[in-house]
C-alpha cells in the first residue's frame, strides 16, 4: 500500500481519536508509522462529560427527535428527513428539506453518528448537540427559531415534566432539547455487524467472498487509506471527484437552494455568481485548496443509506465501486467541479469484475440488521393557565 506522507498528521489524529473514541487499543502492527489504522470492532460511543446519558434524558430525546413541532411550521422534525425506514436518512439524492424548499446535500444516517468528531459533510459541527441544533434551525432543514421552539416545548406538559427531571429548569431550554436529542442519538449505534464479529474472532462471520473483498479493501482498492479505524472513517477532508448534484442543472427549486447556500455561507460575490459545485470544506477554511473536499463518511450501515456520497449521485454500492475503479468519475463521465483539488489518492484501480463484487460484498459486512423503530406517541399541547387564573388576573388589572 502506498504511504501518503502528506496525510500523516490527519492519520495520527485519527488514530488517537479512534483510541479515545472506542476504547480500543490500536492493533499491533508490523506496518510502518504512516500506515492507516486497521479496521477495528466498534466500541461504545464516546459520551461527552457535559452531557451524560440517563434513561429519562434518552426518553425525552427520543420524543423530541420524532416531534415535528420543533420545525418552523410544526411539520418538520429530525425524523422527517432522518427516517428510520430510510436508513435514518433520506432515500433521494438530496434531502427533502423544509416545506417549500429542497436541501442541497445528501442526508446522512443517524446510525453511528455518535462516533464522529466532525458532523455534516463539511465538518461544520463538532458535536451531535450542535449538529442537531444547526439542522433544526437551517432555512432548508427545520427552519425553527429559539423563540417558537421554546414556546412550543413549554406548552407540552410532558416535556416540561421530563425537562425538569433531566435538566432541572422550570421551562425547557432549546439547547437542552438538543442535548436530549444527542443523548438519544448516542443510543443509535450498531456494533454487531458481520465485520465486528469477524474482527472479534468469529472467522465464520464473513463469507469467503467478503474475506477476499477485505483484502482488496486494504490493498489493491486502497479504500483503507481513508476508510480506516473502527468507524471506517479517518474524518479527513478529501476531494475524490464526486460530481455535483445533477438536479441542479434542471430543477429550479434545487437551483434556489444552491445559490442560497453559497450566499449564506459567505462566498465572495464572484464565487456566488460563478461557482457551480458544492465547495464543501472550503467554507470551513476559506482556503481554495479545500474546495470540493468532504469529510470521509463511515461505511457502517451503508447497506441502508443509498444513495451515496455528499451529492447522492450513486444509487448502489456497485456504482460507488465503479466510480473509484475508474479513478473518480461517474458512469456518465461527470466528476467534481474542482478537479484542481482532487486527491492524488484517487487513481484507476484496475479491479476485475470479480474483485469489484468481492469488494461490494465486503462493504456490506459493515452493516448488520436494519435498525427500525416506531415513532413514539407524542404528548399534546395544553394551556399553561386556567380560565379562572386569567379571570383573576383580569380583575387585578
Rounded distance, CA 44 to CA 239, Å? 30
CB 69 within 8 A of CB 286: no
Nearest residue (CB) to another protein, 289 versus 381? 381
Judge whether 358 and 216 are in contact, CB under 8 Å.
Answer: yes
Does residue number 250 form part of the binding site for another protein (CB under 8 A)? yes
- Count of residues in contact with another protein, rule CB under 8 A: 55
Give the range of 32-40, 48-56, 127-135, 249-257 binding another protein by CB under 8 A. 249-257
Instruction: Rule CB under 8 A: say whether 101 interacts with another protein.
Output: yes
Residues 161 to 200 in contact with another protein, rule: CB under 8 A: 170-171
d(CA 305, CA 316): 10
Q: Which residue lies nearer to another protein by CB, 11 or 141? A: 141
To which H or E segment does residue 16 belong? Answer: helix 8-22
H-run or E-run covering 257: helix 252-264
Residues 179, 183, 185, 188, Cα dihedral to 10°: 180
What is the per-residue DSSP string for 352-378? -HHHHHHHHHHHHTT--S----PPPPP
> Rounded to an integer, what distance in angstroms lies between the CA atom of residue 338 and that of residue 363?
27
Look-up of cell digits 504512516? 34
Site string for another protein, 115-154 (x = CB under 8 A): ------------------------xx--xxxxxx-xxx-x
Helix (H, G, I), strand (E, B) or coil at 237: strand
Least Å distance, CB 139 to another protein, is: 3
Task: Check whether the bond before 16 is cis (ω within 30° of 0).
Answer: no
| Residue from the set 259, 319, 357, 378 that interacts with another protein by CB under 8 A | 259
Residue 397 lies near another protein (rule: CB under 8 A) = yes
Q: Residues 271-310: x/- map of binding to another protein (CB under 8 A)? A: -xxx-x----------------------------------
Cα–Cα dist 343/5, whole Å: 13
Cβ 85 to another protein, closest distance in Å?
24
Binding of another protein by 378 (CB under 8 A): no
CB 108 within 8 A of CB 297: yes
To another protein, the closest distance from the beta carbon of 141 in angstroms equals: 11
Binding to another protein by CB under 8 A, coded x per residue (else -) over 56-95, reads -------------x-xxxxx--------------------
Q: Which residues are near another protein by CB under 8 A?
A: 69, 71-75, 98-101, 139-140, 143-148, 150-152, 154-155, 170-171, 248-253, 255-257, 259-260, 263-264, 272-274, 276, 381-385, 387, 389-391, 393-395, 397
Amino acid at each position: 500500500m502506498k504511504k501518503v506522507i502528506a496525510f500523516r498528521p490527519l492519520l495520527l489524529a485519527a488514530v488517537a481519536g479512534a483510541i479515545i473514541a472506542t476504547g480500543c487499543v490500536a492493533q499491533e502492527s508490523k506496518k510502518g508509522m504512516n500506515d492507516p489504522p486497521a479496521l477495528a470492532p466498534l466500541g461504545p460511543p464516546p459520551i461527552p462529560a457535559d452531557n451524560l446519558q440517563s434513561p429519562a434524558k434518552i426518553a425525552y430525546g427520543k420524543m423530541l427527535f420524532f416531534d415535528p413541532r420543533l420545525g418552523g411550521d410544526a411539520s418538520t422534525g429530525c425524523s422527517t428527513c432522518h427516517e428510520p425506514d430510510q436508513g435514518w436518512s433520506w432515500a433521494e439524492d438530496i434531502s427533502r428539506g423544509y416545506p417549500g424548499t429542497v436541501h442541497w446535500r445528501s442526508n446522512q444516517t443517524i446510525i453511528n453518528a455518535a462516533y464522529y468528531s466532525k458532523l455534516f459533510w463539511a465538518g461544520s459541527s463538532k458535536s451531535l448537540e450542535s449538529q442537531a441544533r444547526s439542522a433544526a434551525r437551517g432555512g432548508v432543514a427545520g427552519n425553527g427559531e429559539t423563540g417558537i421552539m421554546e414556546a412550543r416545548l413549554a406548552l407540552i406538559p410532558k416535556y416540561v415534566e421530563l425537562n425538569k427531571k433531566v435538566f432541572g429548569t422550570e421551562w425547557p431550554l432549546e439547547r437542552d432539547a438538543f442535548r436530549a436529542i444527542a443523548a438519544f442519538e448516542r443510543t443509535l449505534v450498531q456494533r454487531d455487524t458481520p465485520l465486528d464479529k469477524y474482527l472479534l474472532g468469529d472467522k465464520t462471520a464473513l463469507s469467503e467472498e467478503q474475506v477476499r473483498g477485505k483484502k482488496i479493501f486494504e490493498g489493491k482498492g486502497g479504500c483503507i487509506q481513508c476508510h480506516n479505524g473502527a468507524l471506517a472513517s479517518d474524518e479527513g477532508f478529501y476531494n475524490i471527484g464526486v460530481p455535483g448534484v445533477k438536479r441542479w442543472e434542471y430543477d429550479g427549486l434545487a437551483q434556489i437552494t444552491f445559490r442560497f447556500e453559497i450566499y449564506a455561507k459567505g462566498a465572495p460575490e464572484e464565487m456566488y455568481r460563478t461557482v457551480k459545485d458544492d465547495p464543501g470544506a472550503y467554507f470551513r477554511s476559506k482556503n481554495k485548496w479545500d474546495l470540493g473536499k468532504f469529510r470521509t463518511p463511515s461505511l457502517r450501515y451503508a447497506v441502508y443509506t443509498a444513495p451515496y456520497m455528499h451529492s447522492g449521485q450513486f444509487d448502489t454500492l456497485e456504482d460507488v465501486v465503479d466510480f473509484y475503479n475508474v479513478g473518480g468519475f461517474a458512469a456518465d463521465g461527470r466528476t467534481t467541479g474542482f478537479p484542481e483539488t482532487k486527491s492524488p489518492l484517487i487513481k484507476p484501480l484496475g479491479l476485475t469484475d470479480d474483485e469489484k463484487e468481492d469488494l461490494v460484498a465486503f462493504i456490506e459486512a459493515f452493516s448488520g440488521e436494519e435498525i427500525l423503530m416506531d415513532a413514539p406517541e407524542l404528548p399534546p399541547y395544553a394551556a399553561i393557565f386556567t380560565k379562572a387564573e386569567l379571570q383573576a388576573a383580569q380583575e387585578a388589572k
